Amino acid sequence: MVRAIICWVLPLLIALPGAAPARPASATPIKQGTLPPGPAMIVIAPQYIPPRDRASEAYADWTAYLNDVIAAQPPRLLIVRITPAQWQQRVGRPAVADGYATVFLRRDGTALFHQGMILELDIYRSALAWMTTGQIPDAAARGLTAIRIRPN
């Protein structure tokens, strides 16, 4: 059972079942009305994962790919987890439709938003490459939407 106690930020290494051993993700508290400085990967997921989700193939794929990314975490990339309610309270838009989303945030406040679980490792690779190059020719095809983060 996933037990995630989220004050403001929770590193994903402990929060996901079957997390591969990896170096600890740095944790910077998110204060009211602020988000971590980029570069950061913000994973939005429910605080409690229902058993039907945990038993699904999609959830298994999502956690496996996410753990692969965490294990190979690029230097200086902050990986944080927040709930949909925390996202709504701090940023608001775009809304998280099904309880899962991922945001790839750069220092300048630009970001790529992926609605739902990421079920392809190539999506992570493309978005992480965008964080350094600023270019991603196939963003829309990969379900990534360009946004600007303006905390509430």
Q: Phi, psi (5° rounding) for residue 103?
A: -125, 130
What structural domains does the chain harbor? 12-22+30-148 (3.40.30)
* Tens place of pLDDT per residue across the chain (152 aa): 222 222 223 333 333 333 333 333 333 444 434 556 668 888 988 888 889 888 999 999 999 999 998 888 777 788 888 899 998 888 878 889 888 999 998 888 888 999 999 999 989 988 888 888 877 767 777 889 888 886 54
**Angle between helix 121-133 and helix 57-71 axes, rounded to 10 deg:** 40
* Long-range Cβ pairs for the range 121-130 (8 Å, 24+): 121/65, 121/68, 121/69, 124/65, 124/68, 124/69, 127/41, 127/102, 128/41, 128/69, 128/74, 128/77, 128/104, 130/104
The SS3 of residue 139 is coil
pLDDT value at position 51? 92
Q: What is the pTM of this model?
A: 0.73
